[in-house]
């Protein structure tokens, strides 16, 4: 097959027009434009597109498919390990671990939390005030020996600690309000906040 690019045709002198016409009449003649040079970035992007298309083709029939599944499994495993190790609070995890990690751990914690609560109430930041109230409740329950307050433990763990406690129902109701407000981002009014705060206060026998 004879392939002639446009750049080559431009160099043919006028005297060879008849020869060119005969060449074009040949059944093996094929005309095409000269290919443009490709950047490294375009080559990489084409490779990535082909790779993604291979992964999501619905068939598990290539090395790329198996390698991708392996990489995904390793990534999920690493993410779970980091979450359990550091106690990071994600939007979809209703855990008090990160709150406890950043707020407790000193002898003056209760006093500091009380001041923070009062300041948040004065500023009408009731979601933040409820957060501090919840932490004060956990600290009080821990000092009373009713829960085991630890960095890696979650709200559900503390709820299980109180399963046989007379305050279980009140704690669950107050915890639901806290979860919807702090993790779910729901708006809480002044009246709703003070109702939840009263529940927390009753749980620890008025020690808040």
Looking at the structure, tell me whether residues 156 and 104 fall in a common domain.
yes
pLDDT at 145 over 90: yes
Average pLDDT score over residue span 147-165:
92
Q: Which DSSP string do the residues of 50-109 spell out, in sequence order?
A: HHHHHHTSS---SHHHHHHHHHHHHHHHHHHHHHHHH----TT---SHHHHHHH--STTH
Looking at the structure, tell me whether residues 115 and 154 fall in a common domain.
yes
Looking at the structure, tell me whether residues 112 and 66 fall in a common domain.
no
Q: How many domains does the structure of the chain reveal?
A: 3
Instruction: List the domain range (segments joined by +) for residue 21.
Output: 2-32
What average pLDDT does the structure give for the chain? 76
Average pLDDT score over residue span 147-171:
93
Which tokens sit at 133? 């109230």
Q: What pLDDT was estimated at residue 78?
A: 76
Looking at the structure, tell me whether residues 19 and 56 fall in a common domain.
no
pLDDT at 205 over 80: yes
Looking at the structure, tell me whether residues 52 and 106 fall in a common domain.
no
Looking at the structure, tell me whether residues 77 and 121 fall in a common domain.
no
Looking at the structure, tell me whether residues 113 and 187 fall in a common domain.
yes
What 3-state DSSP class applies to 30?
Answer: strand
Looking at the structure, tell me whether residues 191 and 148 fall in a common domain.
yes
Please list, in sequence order, all residues whose beta carbon lies within 8 angstroms of the beta carbon of residue 154, skipping any fewer than 6 positions away: 93, 94, 95, 96, 97
pLDDT tens readout for residues 100-117:
544 444 445 777 889 999
Kindly state whether residue 71 falls inside one of the protein's structural domains: yes
Q: What pLDDT was estimated at residue 73?
A: 75
pLDDT at 138 over 90: yes
């Amino acid at each position: 097959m004879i392939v002639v690019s446009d750049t080559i045709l431009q160099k043919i002198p006028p005297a060879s027009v008849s020869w060119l016409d005969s060449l074009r009449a040949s059944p093996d003649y094929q005309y095409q434009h000269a290919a443009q040079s490709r950047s490294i970035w375009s080559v990489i992007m084409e490779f990535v597109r082909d790779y993604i298309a291979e992964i999501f083709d619905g068939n598990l029939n290539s090395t790329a498919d198996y390698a991708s599944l392996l990489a995904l499994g390793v990534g999920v495993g690493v993410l779970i390990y980091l979450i359990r190790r550091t106690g990071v609070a994600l939007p979809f995890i209703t855990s008090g671990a990160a709150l406890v990690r950043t707020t407790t751990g000193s002898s003056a914690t209760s006093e500091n939390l009380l001041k923070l609560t009062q300041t948040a109430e004065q500023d009408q930041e009731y979601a933040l005030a409820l957060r501090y109230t919840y932490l004060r409740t956990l600290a009080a329950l821990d000092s009373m020996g009713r829960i085991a307050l630890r960095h890696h433990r979650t709200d559900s763990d503390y709820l299980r600690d109180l399963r046989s406690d007379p305050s279980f129902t009140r704690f669950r109701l107050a915890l639901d309000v806290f979860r919807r407000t702090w993790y779910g981002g729901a708006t809480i009014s002044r009246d709703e906040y003070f109702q939840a705060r009263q529940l927390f206060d009753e749980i620890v026998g008025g020690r808040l």
